[in-house]
Structure 1
Amino acid sequence: MNGIVMKAVGAMEKIPTILVIDDEIINLKALQRILEGSGFRVHLARDGKRGRYLANEFQPDLILLDVMMPGESGFETCEALKSDPRTTEIPIIFISGLQEVDFKVRGLSMGAVDYITKPFAKLEVLARVKIHIKLRQAYRAAIQEQAAKLAQIRDAQQAILVRPEDMPEAQFAIRYLPILEAGGDYYDVFPVSEHITGYFVADISGHDLGASFVTSSLKALIHQNTGPLFSVEETLRTMNAVLLHLLRDGKHLTGCYVCLNRNMSQLTLAGAGHPPPVYVPRGETPIMLEAKGDILGVFESVQFDTLTLRVNSGDRLYLYTDGLVERQTGPDRGRTQGDVKLMALAEEVSSMTLEKALDHIMMHMFPENTSPDDDVVLLGIEI
């Protein structure tokens, strides 16, 4: 019995709903009779204010709107509906006795999808109503399909991103904020050898999904070209050779690759056109580790600087993508102001746990009611 009830409820939910806004009761009743006689659910309003309330309350599939109404005209009602994010996507068909082209153009330019002139014919009203509801249903279905595909991409990308609990020996924390369902920034943490851990952060140019597709290939590319046989520079060179064939449409990749040998207390890094990591020696002032290098995936011949330094227990290193700092601009332009702020925050959080330190940095780089303009990766490493 419950199954029958559920099916009935589901069928009712599929019945298209139409809101009719007209000050003439005769027109309201005529349209109600036409529409309900064809199986639609109908709500009626005799003025624009009431119509806007019902539109927000019931979220109809379509609105039939009269132009000439006392007080608030149909054009004013349409403008209000289109400026409200709760009702802006609802298609509106004007119904009016005004047949001048200027009125029709004005209505359509305000966002209406059609214009029916009075006196209206039953078959014309039904034909126009049905086609625009079908178009909206097709649009919704396309959006839902795209959202489902994006969710699959997001889930697949998230599945290949290593988490701190997966490698507790790597002693890292991560904050990853893609602006799309799947991001164009990428990070990885992996064992290079028994005592060496690799940390890699990259930024694929572009904010589109094409950038996010590249990230799925990076994990295999990095793991195939790291290990005892490869220096950090050799790894980046080999990656560049492959990316020359992989990247299209002018895309490129910036990256920073760090190898940490905890047994020897040694850190080695190479950069590929990427923001410099912030290194915080325990109890000392943070410094930026400048390791200049060419971007990946553009030039056949590339050069990379390599830095090697001694580190101590309790030191920290922060790798990040430029989405973290690029909003912080000032008179010097570029990333300068963001870099200064990040270094100050890195010193400020030196006594916090790594997890709390990253939260503090993110909160102050993006205060309440602000958000990044680009994907953001912030990777903290405890030496």
Structure 2
Amino acid sequence: MSLEFWKRLPIRRQLMLAVNGLLLMVVVLFLIVGHGLRIRDAKQEKRIALVEEAKTIYESVDAIANRGNESIQQLIDDVCARMNTTESPGHHIAVEWQGSSMQAKSHGRASHDMFQAMRAASRGGSGQPSDSHALVVAKFEGPLGTIYISEAEESVLRNARHELLRQIVAVLLAGALAGLMVNLVLRRVVTKPLRRLVTTLGRIGDGDLDPKAEERSCEELSYLSEQVNAMTKKLAAADRDRRLHMKKARDIQQNLRPTNGKVRGIDTAELFEPADDVGGDYYDVIPLGEYQCLLCLADVSGHGVPAAMAATVIKALVLEAVEVTNSPAEILNRINRRYAEIIIEGHFATMVVVLVDRQKMTLTCSNAGHEHPFIQESGKTVHRLQASDLLLGVDESVTYAEETVPVASGTRIVLVSDGVTEMFDQDETQFGTERVRQVMENSSATDVRQLVDDFSKALARFRQSRPPFDDTTLLAAELTSM
């Protein structure tokens, strides 16, 4: 039995196998030793009985010896003939009397080889003629001669085997009964309580911190239940602290959302669905005077609290940069230099910055490895701004470029994170950039808020019940009439 197979066995089977295995070895050893002793004692008893028989025959031979060897031969033949071959298989008599040797001829066993085997056995030899089975031999030796009597050893062994078989059957029945009782006790005292305890732990692992372990079937499980309940209390306290901290983190992240006033002729709307309690996407709409605003969307690698902290850093760096310049490229240059100094290694970020100038009717875009902005002029197909450079935090010496394009009233701009384009459905198919185009071109929305609502519905239909694996962020703007 391999160690891995043993580890997969239920505890009651391990205990049963271990205990019963040890008991089996003890019983087998006992049966082997007992069987050997039983054979030895049976042979000794048989020899004693044969010695008594030989003594009786000696006295009979002594009484008729004056009649001659023929009378002695007749005597031993008659005695051997009366012996039941079933009860005394292999029974044979041999006589050495005043220089003469005789053997019973009733059962056809008389031979020189048989006589030599009986003599050898009486002296402690093998006692097995070449053409027969091993013998149990006894002799009675008197002043006038010696009487040898043998029986086949097989009869002694057969009786011993029958007794051994009876003992084995009794042991197996007792073992089966004991095993059944042990199994029932273990099932009641160990298995069922452990299963209930495992069920309780499973509920705790799923986040339900209300269940209590109440197993008291034995001292060990009572102690284990107490420790589980103590652990649950600590987890509940830790969960309360975590929820409080996460609420504060969500409140902080809410402050990252755009709160400034609107810009004349530019409407904006957004969709933000973090994969965790807090997300690693940052988006913003920053007014720059009466006719300009800055659209920003950044995506920090990963999600959760670490990504949210990095997004907060980017927010601060953006606010710092716009105090100096409104150039998207220069903003990214400044953010990248500071971000590379502040952020820990590996937390890279993509970011796109778009300056919308309603007075000049232009878009100026600079991109640090982010999804290219989607642009749709009124009544036309969607196209994308293609400028893009290295991610933030990779090389602090990189210089970002920017692209400026003219636009008309009614133009819509959509910025998305990769949580939109890399969203998966139940068949592991990505939403992709082409579906973003289709939503924009097929939407009948009359304003940008309805467009964002169309995106929200399209993403929900595509994802169905599958939870998002990354933060989903979409920022949309539309140039309206003044």
Band the TM-score falls in, shorter-chain normalisation: 0.5 to 0.7
Indicate if the aligned counterparts of 1:286 and 1:346 stay in contact, CA closer than 8 A: yes
* 1:24 aligned partner: none
Residue 87 and residue 197 in structure 1: after superposition, are their counterparts in 2 closer, same or farther (change >3 A)?
closer
Indicate if the aligned counterparts of 1:276 and 1:288 stay in contact, CA closer than 8 A: yes
Query: Which structure 2 segments of 5+ residues have no match?
Result: 1-184
* 1:60 aligned partner: none
SS at 1:174 equivalent? strand
Q: Are 1:147 and 2:266 matched, yes or no?
A: no
SS at 1:373 equivalent? coil
Quick one: which amino acid aligns to residue 390 of structure 2? D
Cα distance in 1 between the residues matched to 2:224 and 2:429:
53
Q: Are 1:116 and 2:220 matched, yes or no?
A: yes
Match of 1:356 among 447, 450, 475: 450
Indicate if the aligned counterparts of 2:296 and 2:352 stay in contact, CA closer than 8 A: yes
Quick one: which amino acid aligns to residue 437 of structure 2? M
Indicate if the aligned counterparts of 1:93 and 1:116 stay in contact, CA closer than 8 A: no
* 1:256 aligned partner: 352
* 1:341 aligned partner: 435
- The CA deviation string for residues 67-115 of structure 1, in whole angstroms up to 9 with x for no partner, is 7359x94455556556665868735465546xxxxxxxxxxxxxxxxx7
Residue 295 and residue 329 in structure 1: after superposition, are their counterparts in 2 closer, same or farther (change >3 A)?
farther
Q: Are 1:375 and 2:471 matched, yes or no?
A: yes
Quick one: which amino acid aligns to residue 148 of structure 1? L
Kindly state the Cα deviation for residue 321 of structure 1 after the two structures are TM-superposed.
Answer: 0.6
1:174-185 alignment to 2 at 5 Å? 174-185=270-281
* 2:211 aligned partner: 90
Cα distance in 2 between the residues matched to 1:138 and 1:81:
16
* 1:62 aligned partner: none
Indicate if the aligned counterparts of 1:255 and 1:295 stay in contact, CA closer than 8 A: yes
Quick one: which amino acid aligns to residue 232 of structure 2? R
SS at 1:260 equivalent? strand
Indicate if the aligned counterparts of 1:185 and 1:204 stay in contact, CA closer than 8 A: yes
Cα distance in 2 between the residues matched to 1:334 and 1:258:
30
Cα distance in 2 between the residues matched to 1:235 and 1:381:
20
Indicate the structure (1 or 2) with the bigger Cα radius of gyration.
2
Residue 328 and residue 190 in structure 1: after superposition, are their counterparts in 2 closer, same or farther (change >3 A)?
same
Query: Which structure 1 segments of 5+ residues have no match?
Result: 1-65, 98-114, 118-124
Q: Are 1:167 and 2:262 matched, yes or no?
A: yes
- The CA deviation string for residues 164-223 of structure 1, in whole angstroms up to 9 with x for no partner, is x84364410011111222211001111223421111000111223111112222223112
Q: How many residues align?
A: 289
Cα distance in 1 between the residues matched to 2:292 and 2:261:
16
Match of 1:275 among 371, 376, 384: 371
SS at 1:116 equivalent? helix
Q: Cα RMSD between the aligned structures?
A: 3.1
SS at 1:199 equivalent? strand
1:18-29 alignment to 2 at 5 Å? none
1:127-276 alignment to 2 at 5 Å? 129-163=225-259, 166-167=261-262, 169=264, 170-226=266-322, 229-276=325-372
Cα distance in 1 between the residues matched to 2:379 and 2:329:
31
* 1:27 aligned partner: none
* 2:187 aligned partner: 68
SS at 1:312 equivalent? coil
- The CA deviation string for residues 246-289 of structure 1, in whole angstroms up to 9 with x for no partner, is 11031111100000110111111111000111111110111122
Quick one: which amino acid aligns to residue 334 of structure 2? T
Identity over aligned pairs, percent: 24
Q: TM-score, normalised by structure 1?
A: 0.67
Match of 2:396 among 295, 300, 307: 300
Cα distance in 1 between the residues matched to 2:228 and 2:424:
46
SS at 2:397 equivalent? coil
Q: Looking at secondary structure, tell me which structure has more helix per residue.
A: 2
* 1:314 aligned partner: 410
